[in-house]
Amino acid sequence: MTSYKKGYQFEREVFRLFQSAGYYVIRSAGSHGLFDLVAVKDGLVFGIQCKYNNHLKSHEKTAMINAYHTYGIIPVYIYRMKRKPIQIVCLLNGKVITDKEVIKLPEICRDKALNRIIKLNGHD
């Protein structure tokens, strides 16, 4: 199987994981944007970068953090190394959660997200 196909299948797996946890999920066709998926739950927007057998490059991480500062999109990095479980990392606080805890992601990121929303709306 090609690496593109493995990556595509991994994105679909993550899509279904978030959808089954009650998120509204959109896939970026062709994955040419900053985020592979955008997931919304409890009024919070998560930008998700999926990597299968690969690591997030520093410029990708920086761009994801910048999207948070500019737009309030919470950056999430999800990866799986061969034959290992999925790792989900909220880049705001570095917290690593399992696929079973994905339902708690809004709760985990809420404080930082709300602080950013307040700043984006001009209420320091």
Report pLDDT digits (tens) over 54-91.
789 999 999 999 999 888 899 999 999 888 889 999 99
Give the pLDDT of residue 118.
66
**Domain at 43, CATH number:** 3.40.1350.10
Tokens 């985020």 belong to: 35
pTM assigned to the model: 0.87
Contacting residues for 1 by C-beta, under 8 A, at least 6 apart: none
Query: How many residues comprise the chain?
Result: 124
Domain count, the chain: 1
Domain that holds residue 44: 3-120
Residue environment code for 66-81, b if the CB has 16+ CB neighbours within 10 A, otherwise e: ebbeeebbbbbbbbbe
Report pLDDT digits (tens) over 86-122.
999 999 888 898 889 999 899 888 776 666 666 667 7
Q: How far is CA 5 from the centre of its chain?
A: 20
